[in-house]
Structure 1
Amino acid sequence: MIYTITANPSIDYVLQLKDLTTGKVNRTTSDVKLPGGKGINVSRILKELNIDSTALGFVGGSTGEMFKSLLSQHELKTDFTNVHEDTRINVKINAIEQDEETEINGTGPAISNEEKTSFLKQLESVGTGDVVIMSGSLPKKLPDTFYLDIAKMIQENGADFVIDTTGQALLDTLPLHPLVVKPNHHELAELFNTTFNSDQEIIDHARKLLDKGAKHVLVSMAGDGALLVTKDHAYKANAPKGVVINSVGAGDSMIAGFAGTFMKNNDPIESFHIGAACGSATAFSQDIAVKEKIDEVYKAISISELS
C-alpha cells in the first residue's frame, strides 16, 4: 500500500482574472475551490493510474468538513486525524494578461501532542512492501523533524519512503535511503553551491545524492525536460509541447507517477516515463491531470539513455 501524508492540507481557492491591481477592487472571471495539499495531489494522480493509496493528514473545524466534502468527489481512500483547529485556506490568483500567479497561503492549525500521537499510531502497521510519501509544509507546533522522524520509524519496519523536500532537510534524509528524491535543477545546484552548464554536470551532482544514500534521483528541468539518474545509468525525458496552465502539482504528479509505477513493476525507466507524463499532463491542465491527459502526454515523451 502507498500512504500519502499531507500534514497541512488546505482548501485551495483558485481565482482567475484578467489582471491584478493591488489596492483596488478586482473582479474574477472564474473561481473554483479545490482540495489542496501536496500529498493529496499525489493520491489523486495515483487514483488516475488505478493505484491504491491511503491519504493521511490533519483535518479540523468547519473548513476541514468542507475540505473532506470537496475531496469526496475524487473517491480517495482517506484516514485523516481530526484536530480541534480549522484546516487552512490558500488563495491562488491567476492574472491571465499579466501571466502571473500569486499565492497567499494560510498557516494551518496548531497540532497538539495528543493529536500528533494519534496520527503516529496510524503508521505503526506500515511495513515491508509499503511506501510512505511525505510532502508539503508542516502546521504549527509540529517539529521540523516530523517527516524525518516518521521516515526513521517506518524504515525500521521495512517500508520505503519518499520525502519531497529541499536543502538541508533533503540531505538529512539521504542516509535513510529514500526511494526517490526529486530536486529541480536549481535546487540541486543550490545544494552544492554551484551552477550547471550541461546535462552531464547535473548528472554528476545527482550521483552525489546517490552516494549519500538516495536510491533514485529525478531532476526536473522545466522546458528542458527531466533526468533520471541511477547508480549505473542516466536517462533524459524530453519536454512535450503544450501550454502550461497551472504549475501547481506538477512535481507532486511526477513523484506519484514514478513511485506508484515503481512499486508495481520495479522498472525505473518505465516509472520515469510515466512520472514525466504525469508531471507534464498536470502542468497542461487546470487541475491535477486525468488519465486521458496522462496517456496523451505519455505518447509525446521519449526516454533516451545519456550515460
Structure 2
Amino acid sequence: MTTQMLKKASQPIGTLSLNPAVDMTYEIPNLLKDQKVHATATRFDPGGNGINVGRALKRLETVAQNHCMIAGEIGLFLKRLLAKELDDVHYEEVVGETRINGTFIEQSPPAQYEISGIGPEIPPLQLNTLLERFIDHSVKGFGVLTGSLQQNLPLTLYADLARRIAEGGGRAVVDTHGEALRHAIDAQPFLIKPNRYEFETLLGRPLEHIEMVATEARALQRRGIEYICVSLGAEGALLTGPDNTCYAVAPTVPIRSSVGAGDSMAAALVAAFARGATPLEALRLGVACATGTVTQPGTELFFPTDIDLYFDSIVIRQLDI
C-alpha cells in the first residue's frame, strides 16, 4: 500500500524554515550536578521543524521546495549538512548566527532534555524575499508552516501566510504552538498538527482520555479547519476530518530519541494528502514514520524501510465523535 501510494504524482509542496538550527545531541550515562560528564555518543544534524519536514519528505520520495534563513558560521555549517539531505533549498542569509539546539539523552534514569537556542533577527528585506518565494510555490499545492518564530517576528505571521496560501488556491499546513497556533487557527488552514501538550495548552486544561482529545478536536475542526491531527507520543495519533475521527495506536518500539517524530508525522500527512490519499492512509503513514523516527539516535529521522516495517501493524479505529 505504501509503495503504491508514494508512486502517485504529488502536488507541489513548499516548506519554510525561518529559525533553523544545527542540532547537537549528547548521549550520557547520567547528569551530575557541578560535575563534568563524558558523552558516550555525539552527533550533529540539520535541525529545525521545517528542515526536518523537508528531510522527511525526501525520504518519502516527495519533492519539496525548501525555503531557509541562515546566518554566520553556524549557518554555513548547516548549509553543508543540508547539502547531503535536501535537493531544492533556497537560502536567504542574514547577520548573526544560526542557532544551535541541544539534546541530552540520559541513560540512567532514562530521560531526555532539550534546549532550544536563539536565532538571529530577520530584517524585513530578506524576510519578504524568502516569504514571497515560498508563497509563489505553495499556492500551487501545499505550504508547510512549522516551528518557532524569531523574537522580532509577529505571532500572526503564520496566520497571515496561511490566508495568502488559501487565497492563491493552495493548502496551508500549520505545526506550531502557543499564540502563533492560536492566531493560525483563525486563518482556517487545511491542517494543524499540535501534540497533546500543545493542544492542552491551547485549550487551557488537561485532556485525560483519548475521547476527550477527540471531542475537543471535533469542536475545533468545526471552526473551519479541514483536518486536525493531534500526536499523542507513544499512544499514537488522532485525526479529525470532515467525515470522521480516527485513532491510530502506535506500535511498541524501543525509544532512542523523540526529536523529529512530530515533524516526520507532519511530513507524512502532507505527502499523503498531496497524492490524494484517504485520511486513514495519511494517518497510518504518519504514525509509521513517527514510530521509525523515535528508534533513531539524535535528530536522525526514519528510513524508508521503517515504513514497510510498521505500516501494516498500525491499528486504527474510528471514534463515534
Instruction: From the superposition, tell whether residues 265 and 303 of structure 1 become closer, same or farther in structure 2 (CA, over 3 Å).
Output: same
Do the aligned partners of 1:44 and 1:76 also contact (CA within 8 Å) in 2?
Answer: no
Please state whether the residue corresponding to 2:274 is helix, strand or coil.
helix
Match of 2:51 in 1: 40
Do the aligned partners of 1:188 and 1:205 also contact (CA within 8 Å) in 2?
Answer: no
Q: Map 1:221-240 to 2 at 5 A.
A: 221-240=232-251
Match of 1:54 in 2: 65
Do the aligned partners of 2:148 and 2:176 also contact (CA within 8 Å) in 1?
Answer: no
Query: Given residue 112 of structure 2, which amino acid in structure 1 is its aligned partner?
Result: E
Match of 1:292 in 2: 305
- Number of equivalenced pairs: 307
CA displacement at 1:161 relative to structure 2 = 0.7
Query: Given residue 231 of structure 1, which amino acid in structure 2 is its aligned partner?
Result: P
Instruction: From the superposition, tell whether residues 103 and 167 of structure 1 become closer, same or farther in structure 2 (CA, over 3 Å).
Output: closer
1:270 maps onto 2:281 in alignment: yes
1:8 maps onto 2:19 in alignment: yes
CA displacement at 1:2 relative to structure 2 = 0.8
1:141 maps onto 2:155 in alignment: no
**Structure 2 residues without counterparts, runs of 5 or longer:** 1-11
CA displacement at 1:174 relative to structure 2 = 2.5
Match of 1:303 in 2: 316
1:202 aligns with one of 203, 213, 219 = 213
Q: Map 1:1-307 to 2 at 5 A.
A: 1-126=12-137, 128-286=139-297, 287-307=300-320
Please state whether the residue corresponding to 2:137 is helix, strand or coil.
coil
Do the aligned partners of 2:193 and 2:228 also contact (CA within 8 Å) in 1?
Answer: yes
CA displacement at 1:245 relative to structure 2 = 0.9
Q: Any idea what the Cα deviations from partners look like across 1:217-242, whole Å, max 9, x if unmatched? A: 11222232221112321111112010
Match of 2:8 in 1: none
Q: Any idea what the Cα deviations from partners look like across 1:136-169, whole Å, max 9, x if unmatched? A: 1122422222222222222221111111123443
The alignment's TM-score, normalised by the length of structure 2, stands at 0.90
Q: Any idea what the Cα deviations from partners look like across 1:5-25, whole Å, max 9, x if unmatched? A: 111111111111111223222
Instruction: From the superposition, tell whether residues 127 and 97 of structure 1 become closer, same or farther in structure 2 (CA, over 3 Å).
Output: closer
Do the aligned partners of 2:67 and 2:134 also contact (CA within 8 Å) in 1?
Answer: no
Q: Larger relative contact order (C-alpha < 8 A, sep ≥ 6)?
A: 2
Query: Given residue 50 of structure 1, which amino acid in structure 2 is its aligned partner?
Result: E
**Structure 1 residues without counterparts, runs of 5 or longer:** none
Instruction: From the superposition, tell whether residues 144 and 189 of structure 1 become closer, same or farther in structure 2 (CA, over 3 Å).
Output: closer
CA displacement at 1:254 relative to structure 2 = 0.7
Query: Given residue 292 of structure 1, which amino acid in structure 2 is its aligned partner?
Result: T
Please list every run of at least 4 consecutive aligned residues from structure 1 whose deviation after the TM superposition is greater than 6 angstroms: none
Q: Any idea what the Cα deviations from partners look like across 1:114-147, whole Å, max 9, x if unmatched? A: 2212222313523544211111112242222222
Query: Given residue 308 of structure 2, which amino acid in structure 1 is its aligned partner?
Result: D
Please state whether the residue corresponding to 2:102 is helix, strand or coil.
strand
Do the aligned partners of 1:111 and 1:140 also contact (CA within 8 Å) in 2?
Answer: no
Instruction: From the superposition, tell whether residues 54 and 162 of structure 1 become closer, same or farther in structure 2 (CA, over 3 Å).
Output: same
Moved more, 139-148 or 21-30: 139-148
Q: Distance in 2 between matches of 1:145 and 1:176?
A: 10
Please state whether the residue corresponding to 2:51 is helix, strand or coil.
helix
